[in-house]
Structure 1
């Protein structure tokens, strides 16, 4: 193994990659609906299909990074994402677009599972929690970069401009990772059979609750990306104006991440911070539900995003402490669980078409789950 630590700036970029590409795509949902002559619900389903394929990709790349190494798995995943994006750019039928989204999602999953595995290779204990907190701060830029750039591209160049931008991004990431990404797989990595490990993890109730928490907080966030474009359109606002809402979400995520880091430094436990975030999300959901007929719903929505910024680093940093010797494979199976749950959550979101009700339900379940997780 190359013991060189991966550059943090590159880890930040690769961690941001899955969320960034999805927020760039979100502003074109209304155009997808009209261009391919499908309903709003069908257009929103491209997000739920995306995350179901993403879940399968997490298993593949997580397993592969234990078998052949972190670096080869990352490069193969980025290349796969580029192929899917190229197919989306060429699609002229909705079914082809769905296939392209499946391939793209399968490839993009590498940015989540392999990046997290490389961080777990390189850092331990409190330092790992702090690194995940820093990553959370960096992720706060994703909504700004994604929604603003996606909104501008959609407004000026249409959905083809968005897919062209995503293809360029995939090519740049592949070239940069090929140049600067080292191998971090420890020599002690065990190549265990996947099924016995899966059986062990399926019996771990705390791990299931962690997976559900990750899925619930992500459903709140990606539910916004899925449903808010239609809320903005109903209020007579453009895709570009929807894109600028990413600035508010980014500020909220940054606030949540900074608050999380400060509270960790003040001695708060990760479990208590997750409970705090769940309570905040529930209150935010009720307020969004009451105000979503006007643009004022963005204010409580920011509260939900603050909760996301607090919760996610604490759940992810603690979830796999008992599986360090099989970090890649365990991360793959853990990711499979929470992305399947996320795909289910977004399918529910597409059926509900009610952002406030979605966030309220997720907040209530997260509060229940966080209390069970700490007992």
Structure 2
């Protein structure tokens, strides 16, 4: 398989978890109505998703080192499809949460295994450029998820969303069966999970990367978690929330494009992450000041732009010192930042305060750029 076809498949697999999360967001209001639960409880479906996702990241990352990238990917997609089918049949909110947990566990394969495959195939500056291309493609994910989710919910309720996700997972499984290569070394070195985890827990660069990733992700996904209820409180039709994803995708896409141009122009990763933190803080203040109006979506553009600018640089450099154990190290890094994301979204869902959440996340991201040492260059 040539690099172009390989990248198409890899990008689709990386987009899958994000599309699954954002496609689900417009359904939160319908879930609250069908199961008679409040906004805080309905928003917790996304928090549960991230927490279960973190467990899946560890399992699939470890398995892709042990049994190979390809079989791990196929197993994870199959589990996701089964869990989504179960979600279509449950009749209680707790049952839906359990189905979401199993689905998130399976969906994690699209993140950790695909990143491992990319790190197998590309190195150094080429890897940074690939992650920049990935960032541009991922910018379309929120637009696809929110726009499609809004239409499906209007037509079929939350079950329409689950049906679409089942179809998507099945198609990706079939594509992977046909086209996903095995990129693991023929005789990979034995990697001890506990030795690797101890080494990473003592590595300040890993902690910094995990906190950076979590900060920008909580800022982004807090909108998808809290946005539907903000639109409800403002008396705006729920479909407008779905359409807002198209606007936000432009900001994220521009951020990823700008990142690629600035990298080519000689800017360092740390400089770009610091710039992204400042832009996100400005956007957070704007959302906080305009949260009584639908106009709060406009400064949210700055937050998603910052996400597209920062994340490729963080992911591209995070595991530079763990090249001999990419699957296991990627799994442990993913566990760290997805646990942080889940906890952050749980707090955001509880407080229902989008502007304050954005300000807190961007402030953390900026503080982490102070004296980073050798964490990132």
TM-score, normalized by the shorter chain, greater than 0.5: yes
Consecutive unaligned residues in structure 2, runs of 5 or more: none
Deviation at 1:192, TM superposition (A): 1.1
Contact 1:188 1:325 survives alignment (8 Å)? no
- Which string of whole-angstrom CA distances, capped at 9 and with x for unpartnered residues, describes residues 255-283 of structure 1? 00011001001100011100110111111
Partner of 1:142 in structure 2?
Answer: 141
Partner of 1:122 in structure 2?
Answer: 121
Whether 1:311 and 2:275 are equivalent positions in the alignment is: no
Q: Distance in 2 between matches of 1:177 and 1:102?
A: 23
Deviation at 1:188, TM superposition (A): 5.5
SS in 2 for 1:322: coil
After TM superposition, the score normalised by the length of structure 2 is 0.97
After TM superposition, the score normalised by the length of structure 1 is 0.98
Give the aligned length. Answer: 373
Q: Distance in 2 between matches of 1:180 and 1:372?
A: 44
Q: Distance in 1 between matches of 2:129 and 2:273?
A: 15
Whether 1:160 and 2:159 are equivalent positions in the alignment is: yes
Q: Distance in 2 between matches of 1:162 and 1:131?
A: 31
Deviation at 1:150, TM superposition (A): 0.4
Whether 1:285 and 2:289 are equivalent positions in the alignment is: no
Deviation at 1:189, TM superposition (A): 2.8
Q: Distance in 2 between matches of 1:157 and 1:239?
A: 14
Partner of 1:111 in structure 2?
Answer: 110
SS in 2 for 1:38: coil
SS in 1 for 2:157: helix
Moved over 6 A (4+): none
- Give the superposed CA RMSD: 1.2
Whether 1:360 and 2:363 are equivalent positions in the alignment is: no
Whether 1:235 and 2:231 are equivalent positions in the alignment is: no
- Which string of whole-angstrom CA distances, capped at 9 and with x for unpartnered residues, describes residues 156-214 of structure 1? 11111111111111111111111111101123632211011100000001110100000
Q: Distance in 2 between matches of 1:120 and 1:189?
A: 15
Contact 1:232 1:242 survives alignment (8 Å)? yes
Consecutive unaligned residues in structure 1, runs of 5 or more: none
Alignment of 1:164-203 (within 5 A): 164-187=163-186, 189-203=188-202
Deviation at 1:374, TM superposition (A): 4.9
Q: Distance in 2 between matches of 1:225 and 1:145?
A: 13
Contact 1:31 1:159 survives alignment (8 Å)? yes
Q: Distance in 2 between matches of 1:82 and 1:223?
A: 26
Q: Distance in 1 between matches of 2:112 and 2:280?
A: 25
Structure 1 residues 180-189 or 269-278, which shifts more? 180-189
